[in-house]
Amino acid sequence: MTRQLHLGIALIVAAFFCVAVMSAFGKAADQVPTAVIGFFQSFISLALFLPWVLRHGVADLRPQQFTLHFVRAISGLLSQLLYFRAVQQMTLVDAVLLVNAAPLFIPVVALLWNRTPITWGVVMSLVVGFAGVVLIIRPGPDLLTNPSALVALTAALFSAIALVSVNKLSRLNQPDTILFYYFLIGSAATLPFAVVQWSMPASHEWWLLVGVGAFMALAQLLIIFAYEHATASQLAPFNYSVVIFSGLIGWIAWHNDLDWLSIIGILLVCAGGILSTYLHAT
């Protein structure tokens, strides 16, 4: 591996460590309304990210394909809100893993949106990944009374739509411009709902909300840096480091344990997601 690739891997692992910490803050804020968490995530990230975006002046803020920016922002926002809803009702590692099953949905979204054909290799990777999903959610009557796993999977679907949108936007927009409009639209879209659901957070909940926003911003910045040194297919295996970090945080903070079926499911989802990303990109 070249020095550049090593640096890209280190940055992407650091980014997904931040994602795991952000997720833990969101889970800990289980008494805060979801819309309030979503607003503070977007608004704090916007405030922290703005100096970086403006480092070259305001010229780069002129959006290309604003409608696509809106689609990306709303789909990404829905993914985050559904995720925060799910993570408060299930273990951290399961929620994080199911939301990060987005690569399993990307070929389907690309087929419907771009008419991009799905190869047999990608089909097999999706079969492997979704077999892992089944082992984790274990479909049964419990899903009707506690559909949090299905909520997390729906978050993954919206995440896939957002990622396909980003792929389209990246042809004419800089990464920091895309993120600026994501955080701006996300803040504006969640503000009315946050006002309706507002109740004054406790002192420790303020710190949790700041943590959600700050670690989201830091994660996105590190991802931008990582992709300056390596391609998506090269870094795809390391995206799932978030599962390891989430498992450790869940074990330390909430004493979550994994059984063998869940471990096998995690491995299958990771394998399917990595293969899907690699094969879809080639």
Write down the pLDDT at residue 203: 95
Lowest mean pLDDT across 13-17, 39-43, 87-91, 227-231: 227-231
pLDDT in tens, 143-183: 767 899 999 999 999 999 999 999 899 888 888 889 999 99
Q: Give the side-chain half-sphere CA count within 13 A for 93.
A: 26
In the chain, count H helices and then E strands: 13, 0
pLDDT in tens, 77-104: 999 999 999 999 999 999 999 999 999 9
Q: What is the domain count for the chain?
A: 1
For residue 10, give every residue at least 6 positions away whose Cβ sits within 8 Å of its Cβ, in sequence order, or none. Answer: none
Please work out, in degrees rounded to the nearest 5, the angle formed at the alpha carbon of residue 153 by the alpha carbons of 148 and 157. Answer: 145
Question: Which residues constitute the domain of residue 146?
Answer: 3-281
Helices 203-226 and 34-53 cross at an angle (nearest 10°) of 50
> For the CA atoms of the chain, what is the radius of gyration?
18
Confidence bin at 230 (pLDDT 50/70/90): confident
Q: How far apart are CA 128 and CA 282, in angstroms?
A: 19
Per-residue pLDDT averaged across 5-30, rounded?
A: 95
